[in-house]
Amino acid sequence: MRYRLTFVVGLAVGYVLGTRAGRERYEQLKKSARRVSQNPAVRNTAETAAQQGRQFADKAYHAVSDKVGDRMPDSVGQRVRSLRERSANGRADDWGTSGT
């Protein structure tokens, strides 16, 4: 499913960039893309994928930190701790997302 979606998105981008249909067709495609992106099912799926990604990253973080332990330089350890504290406080990250 993921590869199919990637293919469709690539096809749409290629069409928009390569089309000679003009501004009218471009506006029509833009309107359709906006309508799809505002669909509650699409938004819920995107949020679920983001949550699963955060869970996977958290598991990977713990697995790596268990294996690496205290062998990291202090500067790297401090940076990682500060980033984890920032995300634990619910503050927005550098890209403006809340991490929820």
**Residue 71, token pair as written in the block:** 């062998």
Q: Where are the domains of the chain?
A: 2-68
Q: In terms of pLDDT, which residue wins out, 72 or 48?
A: 48
**How does pLDDT run across 11-65, given as a tens digit for each residue?**
888 877 776 667 787 788 889 989 998 999 988 998 999 999 999 988 888 888 7
* Rounded CA separation 66/24 (Å): 56
Whether the model pTM is above 0.85: no
Q: Which amino acid is at 8?
A: V
pLDDT at 95: 53
Per-residue pLDDT, averaged over 83-95, amounts to: 65
* Rounded CA separation 30/19 (Å): 13
